[in-house]
Amino acid sequence: MDIIEHPGVVVAAGRDLVKVKILQVSACAGCHAKGACTMADMEEKIIDVEDFGGRQYKAGDHVTLQMGKGSGNRAIVMGYLVPFLLMVAALITGSYFIHEEGILALVSISVLIPYFVILYLRRDKMKGKFVIRIKS
């Protein structure tokens, strides 16, 4: 199984949970023209890790997070591909009934609201599908 790894720094650690700060950078931040990119291309995220092998961590420890590539692909599909397809389907279907472009755009975007609400409500159930571990 392919593994995705990402370096991070522990910001808080408890008995059952470790919070790790990672720096997420856009794909262009690693290219030769990264000097032209802005700080908007980077974002700090706090990841909650429940499976850390019982090892004790403290704030400031440098760690490497691991996730199966299948989980990463599932996240991309759920976060980008499905919403894109929903918007395109709404745009095509709506174009038969709505001839005002501004309203059609709002309808296409509003289709995403129930989708992301459902994802949010099912977050606890999906938590088991996206397992992130600290590399030992």
DSSP 13-47: E-SS-EEEEEEEE-GGGGSTTGGGS-GGGEEEEEE
Mean pLDDT to the nearest integer, 29-40: 56
| 37-66 pLDDT per residue, tens | 555 567 788 888 876 666 788 888 889 888
Token look-up 């980077």 returns: 42
- More confidently predicted of 102 and 35: 102
- Is the confidence at residue 127, as pLDDT, over 70? yes
The tokens describing 77, both together, are 């599909």
CB contact burial 102-123 (16+ within 10 A = b; e otherwise):
eebeebbeebeeeeeeeeeeee
pLDDT at residue number 73: 83
Q: How far apart are CA 41 and CA 26, in angstroms?
A: 5
pLDDT at residue number 56: 83
Q: Where are the domains of the chain?
A: 3-134
Contacts of 136 (CB under 8 A, 6+ apart): 53, 55
pLDDT at residue number 118: 94
Contacts of 31 (CB under 8 A, 6+ apart): none
pTM of this prediction exceeds 0.85: no
Contacts of 46 (CB under 8 A, 6+ apart): 11, 19, 20, 21
CB 104 within 8 A of CB 38: no
pLDDT at residue number 34: 56
| 96-115 pLDDT per residue, tens | 999 999 999 999 999 999 99
- Is residue 68 very low, low, confident or very high in pLDDT (cuts 50, 70, 90)? confident
Q: How far apart are CA 136 and CA 117, in angstroms?
A: 35
Mean pLDDT is lowest, of 5-14, 47-56, 77-86, 104-113, for: 47-56
